[in-house]
Amino acid sequence: MEVIRISALYDNYIFLLHEPMQNIAAVIDPAEAEPVLQQLEQLGAELVTIFNTHHHNDHVGGNRKLMQHFGNVTVYGGEKDRGRIPGQQVFLKEGDRVHFGDRAAEVIFVPGHTRGHIAYYFPPETLGALGDLFCGDTLFVGGCGRLFEGTPAQMLDSLTKLRALPDNTRVWCAHEYTLKNLQFALTVDGGNPELQARFATVKAARDRFEATVPSMLSIEKRTNPFLRWHQPELQLAVQSNDPLQTFAQLRSMKDQF
């Protein structure tokens, strides 16, 4: 399964999954249809599946047009997004499995950014291979999503689930927010040498207009403050040794950053 990253809108990423043997494709969070159609035309592939992580328009805006263009497309989303995702036909819950080509993904319920947010995790196919996590707006490279419909406790629980995935997992998040996320991270975890080095690398990449997605979950665990609420450095930064209070305060500080 090939993953193709497509830029859309101002800072969105759409992910196209391509199965070359059958020449079929699935798309994750199509913010708009046109760049997806252009990529599919280049591949000569047929779109068979739309996987949505949540209902926000910059993740589902292309659903209807893609369905009209291909006719026989199955649209997946979370069960708690019923009535909020255009064309949704399959309503997923925690622990469900979805299939594309010869790959299967686990559905993880990750409320916080929205009340119905889900993520899709494709485990490695073989020993030594990489897994793939499509997490929408829950976990970002160097950050996490804003709490529009959920609570800090829900988001902390959701990020705990994602943090428990194997280190060799690629993190495919839906926005290019990395540079600002790491700028904030340095204000609360500035003594972290790996974070310092990572910021320099990301700054250079963005100066060249290069994407920073995907990331590796192993790196996120060491440099993303929203996966490090249990670390003394982060607890000291917010003057709390309670994990939930630490996370909630970090999220509030990032909202004002």
Q: Could you confirm whether 59 is annotated as catalytic?
A: yes
Q: Could you confirm whether 137 is annotated as catalytic?
A: yes
* Residue of 38, 44, 43 lying closest to 66 (CA atoms): 38
The one-letter amino acid code at 197 reads: A
- For the packed helices 34-43 and 63-70, what is the interaxial angle rounded to 10 degrees? 40
Instruction: Work out the average pLDDT over 58-81.
Output: 97
Q: Could you confirm whether 18 is annotated as catalytic?
A: no
Residue 120's pLDDT is what? Answer: 98
Q: Could you confirm whether 55 is annotated as catalytic?
A: no
The CATH code for residues 2-255 is 3.60.15.10
Contact 24, 6 (CB under 8 A): no
Instruction: Work out the average pLDDT over 196-217.
Output: 98
Residue 242's pLDDT is what? Answer: 95
Instruction: Work out the average pLDDT over 232-246.
Output: 95
Residue 128's pLDDT is what? Answer: 87
Res. 247: pLDDT tops 90: yes
The one-letter amino acid code at 192 reads: N
pLDDT band at residue 1 using 50, 70 and 90 as cut-offs:
confident
Instruction: Work out the average pLDDT over 53-73.
Output: 97
Contact 134, 117 (CB under 8 A): no
Summary mean pLDDT of the chain: 97
Percentage of residues in the chain having pLDDT higher than 90: 96
Residues forming the annotated binding site? 54, 56, 58-59, 113, 137, 175
The 10s digit of each residue's pLDDT in 91-128 is 999 999 999 998 999 999 999 999 999 999 999 989 88
Cβ neighbours for 243, distance < 8 A, ≥ 6 positions apart: 156, 229, 230
- The residue annotated as part of the active site, out of 29, 81, 132, 137, is 137
* Residue of 132, 125, 123, 124 lying closest to 217 (CA atoms): 132
pTM (2 d.p.)? 0.97
Res. 58: pLDDT tops 90: yes
Q: What value, to the nearest 5°, has the Cα angle with vertex 57 and ends 213 and 96?
A: 70
Instruction: Work out the average pLDDT over 134-155.
Output: 98
Q: Could you confirm whether 99 is annotated as catalytic?
A: no
Q: Which is it for the CA torsion 168, 19, 159, 170, positive or negative?
A: positive
Residues forming the annotated binding site for Zn(2+)? 54, 56, 58-59, 113, 137, 175
Domain ranges of the chain: 2-255
The 10s digit of each residue's pLDDT in 71-92 is 899 999 999 999 999 999 999 9
- The residue annotated as part of the active site, out of 18, 29, 55, 56, is 56
Residue 106's pLDDT is what? Answer: 98
Q: What does 47-116 look like in DSSP terms, one character per residue?
A: EEEEE-S---HHHHTTHHHHHHHHS--EEEEEGGGTTTSTT--EEE-TT-EEEETTEEEEEEE--SSSTT
Instruction: Work out the average pLDDT over 130-150.
Output: 98
Q: What does 136-182 look like in DSSP terms, one character per residue?
A: ETSEETTEE---SSS-HHHHHHHHHHHHTS-TTEEEEESB--HHHHH
- The residue annotated as part of the active site, out of 18, 29, 55, 58, is 58
